[in-house]
Amino acid sequence: MHRLLLRSVPLVLTPVLLAVSTFPGQFRVSLPFWLLACASAVVFLCGERRPLPVSLILSVLAVPMFADQAWGLSGVVPYLGAIALADLTARVDSNRVVAVASAAWLAALLLGVELDDHAQRWGAADLTTVAAALGLPLLLGLYLRSQRQIRSAAQSQVRAQERTAMARELHDLVAHHMASIVLRTGVAEHVIDGADPRVAEVLGDVHRTAADALADIRRWQSALRDPDLHEVAMVEPEALWSEIDAAIERTRAAGFAVTADIDRDGTGLDAMARLTVLRVIQESLTNVMKHAEPVGPVTLSVTRRDGGIDIRVDNAGGDESAGGLGIVGMSERLALMGGEFRSGRGERGWEVRAWLPVS
């Protein structure tokens, strides 16, 4: 939506500039230039979906402007063509597409100089103009592309790390449950000592199988675990709410006025769901402390809705830059758990909305 609004600016600005240029003097514009300028503004609006065709069309429309040295108030076509080339270079990863658009823009520049009856053929001014008109949009586009790729790579890395963390958590949870099975079957073997031998044999087999599986899991954990990471702490049902309360108190201690409305019904929340609820709340409140000033209220609500847990965090003192890569990690975690996540500017400031299905 923001990009579309920006592309609509020439539709408003071009008539204003052309209206100014109708007064007698150096800015007076002929009817063909009027039509070219208006057409370029309309074509530029379509560049969001069709960047290459728009860049090629604007290159063609710019030739008469280059030939007449129309770089004044009315000469919006060359500027829009340069912006379109920079935008295409930034958004499209294919160097072949960028090369085609650049070649068309260079051809328009060269043809415009050749058709200019008032300029010396290929003087220093012409060479400088061509180099600047081609080089600056390309350099700007390449810079913006590199920044986009860096952000994308960082987000991909965070998503991969979140998946790895969840896999690690799953291994720890399975190991925890397998250890419980080994313990309980071992106790059962001693309790039923002297009972039917077939029952003892089955329990012994279960105990050995579970013990072998637990040993395998622990070997894999030892081989795969990052030495800088600690074991995942199990979030027991009764400990979830106390951990959330601790996160709230840390935020309050940082000077924020936190209002919490928490439904403490943990029915249907398995270990992974409890851990996800805790991670989302902790990350959201951490973002509040990192990116906001303690000037407005912070509200946290945890309720039941549509067969799941609904988490809402509103921060009146937050800004547009709040979140960062932690938001990407939360979004990935909720997606893998079959939930929903969104964050951004809302009526109450910076908002976080998360929903997690429960069994």
Distance in angstroms (rounded) separating the CA atoms of residues 242 and 237: 10
With contact defined as beta carbons under 8 Å apart, do 169 and 270 qualify?
no
Domain ranges of the chain: 1-120, 159-225, 237-357
Res 177: pLDDT:
72
Angle subtended by helix axes 31-45 and 51-67, to nearest 10: 160
pTM: 0.55
pLDDT digits (tens, 9 = 90+) for 287-340: 888 777 777 789 999 999 888 999 999 887 665 454 566 777 788 888 888 889
pLDDT score of 70 more than 80: no
Question: 237-357 domain in CATH 3.90.1010.10?
Answer: no
DSSP string of 171-216? HHHHHHHHHHHHHHHHHHHHHTTTS-HHHHHHHHHHHHHHHHHHHH
| Structure-token pair, residue 64 | 């008469």
**Residue 93 corresponds to which amino acid?**
D
Torsion of CA 266, 268, 271, 272, to 10 degrees: -110
Q: Is 268 helix (H, G, I), strand (E, B) or coil?
A: coil
pLDDT digits (tens, 9 = 90+) for 173-219: 777 777 777 777 777 777 776 667 777 777 777 778 877 777 776 66
Split at pLDDT 50, 70, 90, the class of 229 is very low
Torsion of CA 266, 272, 277, 281, to 10 degrees: 140
Express as a percent the part of the chain with pLDDT over 90.
15
In this structure, of 23-32, 167-176, 336-345, the range with the lowest mean pLDDT score is 23-32
- Residue 197's Cβ-count burial label (10 Å; 0-12, 13-18, 19+) is exposed
